Amino acid sequence: MKRVLDLFRSARGNELFFNGITTLILASGSVLILIPLLYMISTSLKDPAQIRSDSTSLFPRKPKTVEVNGNLEPLYQVTVDGQVHEYALIKKIPGGLGQFVDPTRPDVIHELRINDQKQLYRWDIHWENYPEAINAMPFWRYLGNTLIVTFVGMAGMLFSCSLVAYGFSRFRARWLNVFFLLLLSTIMLPSQVRLIPVYILFQKLGWINTLLPLIVPQFFANAYDVFLLRQFFMTIPLELDDAAKIDGANPLQILLYVILPQARPALVSVGIFHFLYAWNDFYEPLIFLHTRENWTLAVGLQTFDAIYTVNTHLIMAVSVLMIVPPILLFFFSQRIFTQGVVFTGIKG
Amino acid sequence: MSLPSFQKMSLARREALAGYAFVVPWIIGFLIFTIGPMLASLYFSFTKYNIIDPPQWVGLANYARVFSGIWDAIRTGDSRQFADPLFWKALQVTLYYASLALPLNLAISLFLAVLLNQKVRGINIWRTIFFLPSIIAGVAVALLWVRILNPRVGVLNPFLKDVLGIQNPPGWLADPEWAVPALVIMGLWSVGGSMIVYLAGLQGVPTDLYDAAKVDGANAWQRFWNVTFPMMTPVIFYNLVLGMIGTFQYFTQVYVATSSSLGGLGGPQHSTLFYNVYLYQNAFRYFDMGYASTLAWILFIIILILTGLIFRSSDTWVYYEGQLKGRG
């Protein structure tokens, strides 16, 4: 005992204690994070009867049953005289009691408290929810639209933001500083203040209910990504530019052959962030897209919920499908997120 | 007359021209998608405009609709005296959410970031788990939480009842009193987004500061308050400003949670009528573009004022390392 106390008083013991507490808090927090996700997945694999009768279960399951006198009865693990048996519940009687029998000897009835016995379950997984959900909505159409918006927009964003970030990081001119401050100030600008005229502009162009309003603006750079790319470009040594200049490279060639290859991690980061933004975006697709053949997954899923609210299993199945691509991308590019590569530009 | 050729220009001019050429995409975008529309919406805010008919100048009528009745309402304490009570309701809902969500978000995400900056086993797994919800935030997650919080068939209330022994768990999104707190809980699940920003900030705190504090005999708690916290104030400041702006943009979760429910969008009883939801209704349901533009500009001014206040107060609590060294 004394040795334990000594350990706690020592610096090493202190550290062990703190690490233990930290791990404990992190583990409990993780449970709070993961249980809703587990619930989403398990609900997507249940059938409506399970959702109604066994909604709180984190597993897609059904009661185990056994045939007794020609009827299917639920099976329980019961304790009789200190011995554990698997008995069927054949009748509930008032007062929380039930009549249990051994399925092989149905004539001997044991009256026991139901709540003290453990009901037995079997896995009951409904994979067919997934094809059913996909067929209940134009899923592939939504997916196609989402992919077009996400990847064409990403290409436009990377193209325009690289050019602009290069302009702001490598050239000196009187107005460039002013422009850069203007650009930064638009980060704080609430989008609503420009949304309505932009909507009207797209309407006059006949672009409402097409994917163009979600894609075309990406080709004109945005403050956030320009800022991150510029911060990264600034860290690339000027000597590399100079060497290329001596070899006769023009500014565009320097961008293509010197800067962009060096800036790969930054380009990947802003690309990933754009994917997550475009994939999850709901507000703009909701405003600009009016008929179902043009919807993205986010709008399609919300509308599916509005029509099929009672079919929780199908809605959760599509929800799972919708969160899988971001999660996969996240696992393949974890380092970028967890080590905060992307955020180094904004601190301090 | 001929323009001076590119070759004959001075080096500085050529550099400047090339620089402007590269930022042209942004300049065009800024004119077409930012400054032009901003001025247009300022103009629309003084008009009656339903898109089909040309805008009709009405002077300050839209602003009067927002602000008239304000004295009567204050004097009598009756919100029906407002010419547009829903505007004030929307403002109240938004500020109520901000007053709950921003401090909780700050405390929890900073706390988690400090824990995730410790050298404990499996730290990358913990970081991954906590960050996970913020990358899937959107319709799917909102639909999930609507089901978890459902008072009849959800899983949260049976847990509160049976495990924690709470006799009358709230009706959450179905209850006007609890709808905003329910949305706060939904938001806290995705706290990882701001947590990762704090984590990046923590990794920038120089370790020699901690070593110096340890030499001076500071314990973990003192090290947090006297080293970590001051060093983190710029990041806290950044998250606070963006969080404030984000609250005024809050939309998706409310739309998913309420648009197909009995209370309707912003319901029940307007308890989730966030500012952006009200603006959306006016613009894209009633196509009252004039009034919606007014709302957008008032929103812009509110954000300017609040950001200005946070900036002003930042002198007293945000610490920048440069200042200590006397280089300011």
B147 and A CB contact within 8 Å: yes
**Per-chain mean pLDDT for chain B:** 88
pLDDT band at residue A8 using 50, 70 and 90 as cut-offs: low
Backbone angles phi, psi at B266, to 5 degrees: 85, 0
**Chain A CB within 8 Å of residue B224 CB:** no
Q: Which residue has the higher pLDDT, A173 or A158?
A: A158
State how far the Cα of A137 lies from the Cα of B237, in Å rounded to an integer: 44
Tell me how far apart the alpha carbons of residues B143 and B58 are, in angstroms, rounded to a whole number.
42
Instruction: For residue A80, give every residue at least 6 positions away whose Cβ sits within 8 Å of its Cβ, in sequence order, or none.
Output: A87, A110, A112
Least confident of A167-181, B201-215, B280-294, B308-322: B308-322
Nearest CA in chain A to B138: A280
The DSSP code for A64 is -
User: In sequence order, what are the residues at sequence separation of 6 or more whose Cβ sits closer than 8 angstroms to the Cβ of residue B15?
Assistant: A171, A172, A173
In this predicted structure, the answer to whether residue B327 has a pLDDT above a threshold of 50 is no
* Confidence label for B8 from pLDDT (cuts 50, 70 and 90): low
**Closest-CA residue to A102 (of A91, A113, A86):** A86
Q: Report the complex ipTM.
A: 0.88
Q: pLDDT tens across B268-290, in order?
A: 999 999 999 999 999 999 999 99
pLDDT band at B4 (very low <50, low <70, confident <90, very high): low
Beta bridge partners of A67: A72
A244 band by pLDDT with thresholds 50, 70 and 90: very high
User: Are residues A80 and A221 both part of a single domain?
Assistant: no
pTM for the model: 0.89
Residue B4: DSSP 8-state: P
B240 touches chain A (CB under 8 A): no
Q: Indicate yes or no: CB of B300 within 8 angstroms of CB of A217.
A: no
Considering only CA atoms, give the Rg of chain A. 30
Assess whether A165 and A47 both reside in one domain: no
- Which of the four pLDDT bands, split at 50, 70 and 90, describes residue A56? confident
Residue labelled with tokens 């933001």 = A161
Distance (Å) from the alpha carbon of A282 to chain B's nearest alpha carbon: 6
Please tell me what DSSP assigns to residue A152: H
pLDDT digits (tens, 9 = 90+) for A18-43: 888 999 999 999 999 999 999 999 99
With an 8 Å Cβ cutoff, is A249 touching chain B? no
- On whether both A273 and A225 belong to a single domain, the answer is yes
Same domain flag for A111 and A173: no
Task: Check pLDDT > 70 for residue A339.
Answer: no
State yes or no: pLDDT of B22 exceeds 90: yes
Q: Which of B225, B298, B271 is closest to B63 using CA atoms?
A: B298
Share of chain A above pLDDT 90, in %: 54
Q: What is the CATH number of the domain that holds A212?
A: 1.10.3720.10
User: Are A55 and A65 found together in one domain?
Assistant: no
The DSSP bridge pattern shows strands A71-80 and A83-93 to be antiparallel
Q: Which residue has the higher pLDDT, A283 or B215?
A: A283
Q: How far apart are CA B180 and CA B93, in angstroms?
A: 8
A199/A207 Cα distance (integer angstroms): 9
Boundary residue ending a domain (A104, A123, A142): A123
Q: Which pLDDT belongs to residue A187? A: 86
Q: Tokens standing for A89?
A: 């519940």
Taking the C-alpha atoms of residue A78 and residue A112, their distance in angstroms, rounded to an integer, is 9
Q: Which residues 68-107 of chain A have a CB within 8 Å of chain B?
A: none
A348 CB within 8 Å of a chain B CB: yes
Spell out a b/e string for A301-322, using b for 16 or more CB atoms within 10 Å of the CB, else e.
bbbbbeebeebbbbbbbbbbbb
- Structure confidence at residue B307 (pLDDT): 86
- CB neighbour list of residue B256: distance below 8 Å, 6 or more residues apart: A282, A302, A305, B139, B142, B143, B146
Q: Quick one: A187 and A97 in the same domain? A: no
> Inter-chain contact A195–B248, Cβ cutoff 8 Å?
no
- Look at residues A72, A90, A123 and tell me which one is the last residue of a structural domain: A123
Domain holding A51, by residue range, is: 35-59
Q: Which residue has the higher pLDDT, B5 or A233?
A: A233
- Here the CATH number for the domain that contains residue A119 is 2.30.30
Query: Across the strands, what pairs with A110?
Result: A100
Domain assignment present for residue A89? The answer is yes
Confidence bin at B187 (pLDDT 50/70/90): very high
| Residue A252 C-alpha, separation from nearest chain B C-alpha, in angstroms | 9
Q: Which of B29, B154, B245 sits opposite A221 (nearest CB)?
A: B29
Q: What is the pLDDT of residue A344?
A: 44
A8 CB within 8 Å of a chain B CB: no
A340 pLDDT higher than 80: no
pLDDT at residue A341 above 60? no
A19 is a domain residue: no
Q: Which pLDDT band, with edges at 50, 70 and 90, does B3 fall under?
A: low
Amino acid at A155: A
Going B258 to B259 to B265 to B268, the CA torsion angle's sign is negative
| Domain map (residue ranges) of chain B | 6-63, 79-324
Check CB contact of B323 with chain A, cutoff 8 Å: no
Q: Residue B115 corresponds to which tokens in the numbers above? A: 């824990």
Chain A residues with beta carbon closer than 8 angstroms to that of B320: 348
Closest residue by Cα to residue A345 from A232, A189, A237: A232
Least confident of A109-113, B138-142, B252-256: A109-113
Q: Which A residues in the span 107-126 are in contact with B, Cβ-Cβ below 8 Å?
A: none
Q: Is B26 on the interface with A (CB under 8 A)?
A: yes
Structure token pair of residue B19: 């620089």
Note whether A295 and A157 are same-domain residues: yes
Boundary-marking domain end, from A106, A123, A140: A123
Number of domains in chain A: 3
Hunting for tokens 């020592």 — which residue is that?
Answer: A10
pLDDT for position B281: 95
- Is residue A150 in some structural domain? yes
Chain B residue with CA closest to A317: the answer is: B140
Determine the number of helices (DSSP H) and then strands (DSSP E) in chain A. Answer: 17, 8
pLDDT score for A232: 87
- Does the CB of A52 have a partner CB in chain B at under 8 Å? yes
Which of A18, A39, A322 is closest, CB to CB, to B220? Answer: A18
| Pairwise CB contact (< 8 Å): A221 & B25 | yes
Nearest CA in chain B to A308: B260
Residue with the larger pLDDT of the pair B201 and B301:
B301
Residues A51 and A69 in one domain: no
Nearest CA among B92, B87, B111, B85 for reference residue B229: B111
pLDDT of residue A58: 84
Does A51 have pLDDT greater than 80? yes
Could you tell me if A262 and A240 are in contact, meaning their C-beta atoms sit under 8 angstroms apart? yes
Contacts of B313 (CB under 8 A, 6+ apart): none
% chain B with pLDDT above 70: 95
**How does residue B149 score in pLDDT terms, banded at 50, 70 and 90?**
very high
pLDDT band at residue B193 using 50, 70 and 90 as cut-offs: confident
Terminal alpha carbon distance of chain B:
52
* Averaged pLDDT for residues B164-191: 91
| Position A338 pLDDT exceeds 80 | no
Mean pLDDT of B226-250: 87
pLDDT in tens, B81-98: 888 889 999 999 999 999
Question: Do A113 and A146 reside in the same domain of the chain?
Answer: no
Point out which residues pair with A98 in neighbouring strands: A92, A112
pLDDT band for position B328 (cuts 50, 70, 90): very low
- Specify the pLDDT at position B254: 94
Question: Rounded to 5, what percent of chain A is helix, strand, coil?
Answer: 65, 15, 20
Nearest Cα to Cα of residue A146 among A332, A294, A319: A294
Summarised one tens digit per residue, pLDDT across range A272-319 is 989 999 999 999 999 999 999 999 999 999 999 988 878 899 999 999
A238 touches chain B (CB under 8 A): no
In the DSSP assignment, the letter for residue B84 is: S
- CATH number of the domain located at residue range(s) B79-324 in this protein: 1.10.3720.10
Two tokens, residue A226: 């320009």
In a domain, residue A25? The reply is no
